[in-house]
Every structure is written in C-alpha cells, then in structure tokens.
Amino acid sequence: MALEMKVPSPGESITEVEIAQWLVEDGDYVEKDQAIAEVDSDKATLELPAEASGIITLKAEEGDAVQVGEVVCLIDTDAEKPGGDSSDKKEEDSKEDKDKAEAKTETPSKPSTPDQKQDDKNYASGTPSPAAKKILSEKDMDAKDVQGSGKNGRVTKEDAVNAKPSMGTPGNGTRSESRSKMSMLRRKVAERLVSAKNETAMLTTFNEADMSAIFNLRKEYKEDFKAKHGVGLGFMSFFTLAVVRALDIYPAVNSMIDGKEMITYDYKDISIAVSGPKGLMVPVMRNVENLTFRGVENEVKRLALKARDGKITVDEMTGGTFTISNGGVFGSMLSTPIINPPQSGILGMHNIIERPVAIDGKVEIRPMMYLALSYDHRIIDGKESVGFLVAIKEALESPEELLMDNNVKKALEL
C-alpha cells in the first residue's frame, strides 16, 4: 500500500512551507519516525518525520513551495527492507547508463537545412538574436561585451538575460561568484525587517553602562551558581530582569499598535534574538516577570540550544512583547537594532570594552558597554525612551540594590 505523506501544519496562520532539504533519496527505504526532510516556514525550520516504514518516492523537489496538506512523498509500506548489498543494482544502473550513452552516440545527427545554414550566416559570432538585442538595449549594453553561447558564438536570449554591466577594469585575480536561493525563513525575515523600517516611525537612542558591578558579582558567585543550578550566570539574566523593571516603570514600551488602538500588556514576554543554522531566530521567554536569575538562564540556554539544533517550534517563536538582541557576542561595538514587529521596542547589547572614564573627578579604566534602544515613536515619546534606557543603565550599574533587593544569595538561590 502506498501511503501519501502530506505537509502537516507547522502552526496557526501558516499555509505554505518550502522543502529546504531532503534527507533521503528517491527509492530509499525509510523507517517510521525517521527524519526525511527539513521544511522551512516563515517562522522556523522543522524536520518532517516518516509516518511509516517503506520505500519512499519523492513528489517534490528541494526549493519547492508546497501548500499545507499537499502530498510531498509516497511510502510503499508493503516493500520489504533490503538486507543485502546494493552493488548489483549499481552495476545494472551503470550498464543501463552505458547502453543509453552508446545509443545516443549512434543516433545520427539531423543534417542542416538550407534555412539553418542561412541563419548561421545571419547570426555570426557575437551577433545577438532579436530578443537578445532588445534585452541588451534595455540594459544599455553592447553585444560585443557579451560572450555568446549559441551556435557559432551567437548571443542568445539567455546570454542577454544573464549578462551584467561591466564592474570596471577587471583585476588579475579570480573573479568567481555563486548564487543560492534564499530560504523561506530568510526571505520572511527580510520582508519583516523592511516592513519594520517602512511602517514604523523607528528611532534609536543610546546610552552606556559601567559593567563593573556585574563583573564583580559574576566573579564572586558564578562558580557557586553553576554548581548549584547546572547553568552559568551570564549577562542575559541581568539584562532581562533589568528590562522587566524598566517595562514596569515605562509600560508604553511594552505596548503595540493595533489599528487605531494601543494595546499595553501586563505580562512581559521577552524575545531573544539568536543566530541559528538557517539565520536569525527570535524565540520567546514567557512571563519573564515571574522568573528568577536561575529561571532566565535556564530558558536562555534551552531556547538557544533548540534554535542551534533546528528544533525550535513555531509556538516558541510566536508572540513577544519586547526584544533583546545581543550583538556583542559577535564583537559589535554599536548598532541600531531594527524593531521586531508588531513590537514597539528592542534593546541592543554590545561588546564590553575597557575604556577610560571619569569617576569622581579621576580617570579610571572600567568595563563599558554601549546600549541602544530602537523604538516606535508613534506610541513611545522621547522622554519615555530615554527614561527607559536610563532605567536599564541604573539597574545594570546597581544590580545588587535594584535587581536583588540587597540580598545576592537569595536572588541567586544559593
């Protein structure tokens, strides 16, 4: 019996996916629940498991966009699992290919007609066809600058379509290039970023934070924290809880526009931008206002590992009321992060650099980090945005007082 495998729905509102990669080949024997393909939606990359054991017949190519519910492969469940060597089959295939090649060689070529010979004279080397000539004219290019691939060197329509204007005097080195199709996830991210720039009144404000207090706390307690909880005491927990505090003070930053209305959320679902194998992903930590330092670090680790392994779910990527992006892990000194719509704010963290700063009239070397807040100016005023960023700065520079209630061990659950 041939079982039809259809594309399952990855999540609400998703109607189409793209076959990113087949993990098996046509005619392979697959086991039930074996991962047979990776499919891209506009939110995440997911694995497609086999629904039964048997011989698989692929019905879609890599790169194909297929509708949810559409058949992408057949599995012959009556087929027996092969137990022997497949070398005999390979030899048969090789012989068959050889026979085909010999037959093709023996097939006489069709003699040229007088009309074809006349065409060859009309389209001499470097001469474009009418269609190619029109395309090159639109590109403001000369046919002599295009290498013809047609008979006798004629410039075909395809040559004209692929031709590119000169990029200046060629150098002496290799000038190769490659093309690859963007995944559905990457294309969706691109669309959302352009949409955010075009449809919001985005503005960015900056500040800096002295990270000395956090450095001292981590130096003193990180080993005990890891031994007790099995996870490191990183910077994300300090930043996340600083954001929760600032959102309490400035709730407009935890708001979104819905038509002519402004929705303000009492809960804090914090999106964290992480780099996955298929590009940028933004999983969400839910109800962060209820999490401790340990809770945040565990969630960050869990979501980051799932994103890295390509196992993040659509539900874990959906929602979020505010985003934190840590470009500092890649060495970024300063940036203007783009809002993650429909959210109204995103905080950018950057690398920590020791710099000379004035402290009580004296120059000292301190670990400093630039902070950036991009926000939608339609609902967040300048006063609120600046105040929000100052509140972040205050919490980072005085974490024991503002994030730990002057009881570090209790806050870290040690």
Of 97, 248, 309, 377, catalytic:
377
**From the CB of residue 267, how many other CB atoms can be counted at a distance below 10 Å?**
12
Please say if 381 is a catalytic residue: yes
Please say if 115 is a catalytic residue: no
How buried is 352 (Cβ within 10 angstroms: 0-12 exposed, 13-18 middle, 19+ buried)? middle
* Tokens describing residue 411: 């806050």
With a CB cutoff of 8 Å and minimum separation 6, the contacts of 66 are: 7, 16, 17, 18, 19, 60, 72
Of 93, 97, 381, 405, catalytic:
381
Q: b or e along 224-249 (b: 16 or more beta carbons within 10 Å of the residue's beta carbon)? A: ebeeebebebbbbbbbbbbbbbbbee
* Tokens describing residue 226: 């890891």
CA distance 364 to 358: 6
With a CB cutoff of 8 Å and minimum separation 6, the contacts of 115 are: none
Enzyme catalytic residues: 377, 381
